[in-house]
Chains A and B, each alone.
Chain A
Amino acid sequence: MPPFLIISISIGYVALLFLIAWIADKREAAGKSIVKNSAIYALSMAVYCTAWTFYGSVGRAATTGLGFLPIYLGPALLAPVWWLLLKKIILISKSQRITSIADFISSRYGKSTFLGIIATLIAVFGIIPYISIQLKAISGSFDLLAGQAKATHGNIPFYLDTALYITIALAAFTILFGTRNLDPNERHGGLVAAIAFESLLKLIAFLAIGIFVTFGLYDGFGDIFSKGAAVPSIKALFTLESAGLYGGEWFWLLFLSMSAVMLLPRQFHVAVVENTNAAHVARASWMFPLYLLLINIFVLPIAVAGLLMFPEGAVEPDSYVLSIPLATGHETLALFVALGGFSAATSMVIVAVIALSIMIVNNLVLPALVRNQDFGKNNDQSINTGLLGIRRISIILVLLFSYAYFKAIGEQYSLVSVGLISFTAIAQFTPVVLGGIYWKRATKKGAIWGLSTGFLIWAFCLPFPTLVEANLINDRIMQEGLFGWSIFQPYALFGLEGYSPVANAAFWSLLFNTFIYVVVSLNTQQSPLEVSQADLFVDIYKYRSGGSEYEVMRRRAKVRDLRIVMNRFLGIPRTQSLFTAYENHNRVDLSRQPVAEANLINYAETHIAGAIGAASAKIIIGSITKEDPISLEEMFKVLEQTKEIVKYSKALEKKSSELERTTLQLKQANEQLKELDRLKADFITTVTHELRTPITSIKALSKIMLDNKDMPEAQRAEFLSIVVTESERLTRLINQVLDLEKIQSESGETKLEPLDLAEVARQAFNGLRQLMREKNINPQLVIEGAPIRVYGHFDRLTQVVVNLLSNAIKFASDEQGMIRLHCYPGVKSAYIEVRDNGPGISLRDQELIFEKFTQISDKEKGKPQGSGLGLFITHTIVRQHQGRLSVESAPGEGATFKVSLPLYAEKQGTSIWPSLQ
């Protein structure tokens, strides 16, 4: 077939794709989108099936039987849980305007620029081998159709190499498709329509060759398989073990493909970024596996047919799909099949390279570009054109790198083995993405360390050996290990033998990746922004139902600045429509608001993030906003962390206040004790002083009498009588001290009972009547209103009356002495008055007489008899009875002591004086 024809048909096909994209864009602009339905969504996800599937599966089936299948079983297994997993990622990405897998990871971990760079590098280096196999497949199919099957691209000069021109054509094609305009959300309706069409075409083409082989060349499935079963080497492919497939190997292929179908940049792009409605996931979760099943049904029959037709291995198994129709002379069918393969390869290249270019621009170039720039300045020059230019350059670079890889290495490997290198690289995203949406505690540092470690192990185990085999690096490392250490052999890391290179690399890289990610996360702290992003990712449903914008930080910016920045990144018309939409939605007039509220800043940031990625948007918005030092989230976090401490300190505070109270009480008690102690000391000093006086007197007189034996009898008798008097005084003093002690110590427990005060007065008075007679005192007893009911202790009250009478006897006038006891009830109190006609008490003395040891000296009578405790005791007893003791007197007019006690009321019982002091 002449190359000219092949090229024209390819160009015609590309033109058709452009037409489809153009129509889809027109329809979308008119509001009648053809891409907003779940069938187109599922078909666009079939971009998963690339030249690897189209050509490589048959090649793999020809060597390992059903070994091609795990790559499709994995996605099919995962599809049922898309409704949970993928939907959550879509909702998060829509709310955050996420435009790539690198953006997603960077955004989750505090919009980290560094993490965005790492993720982008992993994606770019991981995907370049994958793109290179598409180039290989396209150029290989071109060679086959043109009849140049034996051509090798490695040995011819690049300017004669068709693969280079194919690469350049693909770059132009991708640039035309992906960078026509800078869509703020990276949605390309036309692209999706074209991809869906390509998916349909490649399925039809593959089914066509499958049906042709199975039912045209052979007589159905049974015919092929029975003929194959007759050949032992082919029969071996019908079982797993004899094809060299074991449990561990199988599991890792399933796992890698599960990660790939979610996390490959192009899969993320079509499934998440281009998604128009999260509900489409439900139907895609069975339509996509169905697509995979259909495209895989004929893989094994074609492989068996190929092996039967080309038994000597003359034809590369990867090319059976084309070689069989060509060998049987069906050139038109071969051309159609090649077109299917071309569509599989181009769809992958276009979407993957667009996704990578978005990452490179948003996560590598822009953060460096926008840092330290002042976007608040009004600059008319839009950055849009510049961004598109950078994106075009990155597309060309990625494709040229892929071409270089193909030229240096790719040709010596089968399609699948190179593709699996990419799958293993992308699987490194699995821990940080899964942890990112289900584990809030995961930190940026954990993600950085985990991803980097996994990536390095991958690089050493898989792409590195391919460089060795391309003779770029000395091959001694393969046998002897890195630096001669045998445990560092790329295909048997740490001495793990018996696994394929892919299973070995996947196991070690993911093990260390996950382990380090978890351990570092548990041992590092999150920044406030990380906390809020983690919360938003993990609890996306909470924020969606709440409906309110999530306020990450308290930020302030001028509306004018925001508008300028948005003009530059989104273009003036789009900015204007966004502002109008915001004003309508929130019912505000932004032209009247100089300072933007937090909502508007977040709104602007998410839309700018849609154009240039979260990390860059954060830097740009950061350059025009002022952040308050402490954000709300940070406070929440601090609160959460210190909740325990607060609780503890509250308990401590409570304890300490209790302690303070107790201390105060103790202090007071101590003061009282000290006061009591002082009083006691005073008391003892006074008592001993009082005791010393009579003792001194007794001692002196006794000594005189002892020394003067011839003392006159009369004088001796006088002295003796003084000794007796002093002894009596001593006795009395001691008795009264004992009394006082007794009264004071009994104060709390004295038993009070109702009694007749008149009786008390009468008894006490009668007891002393004789004494008064002897002293020539006229006793008068007046009792009114007997019985006078009071509440008290009979003996104590008797003592009160006796004390007062004794006092009166002491002071009553020597001639015509008179003592009058008057006992009578009042309204509420009962009274006892004891009046004498003695010298009276001066006003100054009246204040003192109730104190202890107060004695009133009289110039005429000298020192009075008595201890000075009598009235103090009386006063104490009266106070214990809730009564009052007072004195009325004037010098020369005698004295009247008056006791008042509360009357006892029957009904009130004892409650009036529940306890007496």
Chain B
Amino acid sequence: MTNNDRSLKLISIFLLGMVLFNFPLASLFSRDGLFLGLPKLYWYFFLVWAGLIALTAWIARSPKAKKT
């Protein structure tokens, strides 16, 4: 993966997060009622958040970082 590739992917994660964490997408999950005992919005934010972290970790790992 070249530097340029990685940069583009990281920027894409940022833009994806901006869309997912803003209105109107976030408000889609703003519904009454619990899902598996937790508020739906709570599920949505924390799962997407965890997903973005995993994605970032996967892309940001560089050959250099692995060696050190």
Contacts and interface: CB of A to CB of B under 8 A. Distances in A.
Q: Chain B binding site: helix, strand, loop or mixed by DSSP?
A: helix
Contacts, number: 121
Interface in A218-234: 220-223, 225-226, 229
A69 B27 CA distance: 14
B36 A239 contact: no
Nearest to A239: B30
B65 A286 contact: no
Contacts of A76: 17, 49, 52-53
Contacts of B37: 220-223, 225-226
Interface string A275-296: 0000100110110011001000
Interface stretch (A244-252, A800-808, A819-827, A875-883): A244-252
B10 A229 contact: no
A779 B57 CA distance: 124
Interface stretch (A78-86, A438-446, A485-493, A606-614): A78-86
Interface residues of B, number: 43
B31 A300 contact: no
Contact of B26 (A79, A222, A250, A289): A250
A300 B42 contact: yes
Contact of A285 (B23, B56, B64): B56
A285 B21 contact: no
A293 B47 CA distance: 10
A283 B65 CA distance: 8
A241 B38 contact: no
Contacts of B26: 240, 250
A279 B53 contact: no
A581 to B, nearest CB: 25
Contacts of A247: 22-24, 27
A239 B41 contact: yes
Given A226-B34, A289-B56, A84 B49 contact: no
Nearest to B65: A282
Given A238-B42, A286-B56, A73 B21 contact: yes
A76 B27 CA distance: 19
A479 B42 CA distance: 38
Contacts of B2: none
B11 A77 contact: no
Nearest to B49: A293
A240 B30 contact: yes
Contact of A235 (B14, B21, B32): B32
A222 B35 CA distance: 9
Interface string B50-68: 1011111101111011001
B46 A293 contact: yes
Given A76-B49, A282-B65, A289-B53, A240 B39 contact: no
Given A235-B32, A241-B30, A80 B14 contact: yes
Contacts of B39: 225, 238-239, 300
A264 B61 CA distance: 27
Contacts of B22: 247, 250-251, 254
Contacts of A225: 34, 37-39, 42
26 contacts: A38-B65, A66-B41, A66-B42, A66-B45, A70-B21, A76-B53, A77-B17, A80-B17, A80-B60, A84-B11, A220-B37, A225-B39, A226-B37, A229-B34, A239-B39, A241-B30, A246-B23, A279-B65, A282-B61, A282-B62, A283-B61, A286-B56, A286-B60, A289-B53, A289-B56, A293-B53
Given A70-B21, A283-B61, A297-B46, 19 more contacts: A66-B41, A69-B45, A73-B21, A73-B49, A77-B21, A80-B11, A80-B13, A80-B14, A221-B38, A225-B34, A225-B42, A226-B34, A238-B32, A238-B34, A239-B39, A247-B27, A251-B22, A283-B60, A293-B53
- Shortest 3 CB-CB distances between A and B: which pairs? A222-B37, A247-B23, A238-B39
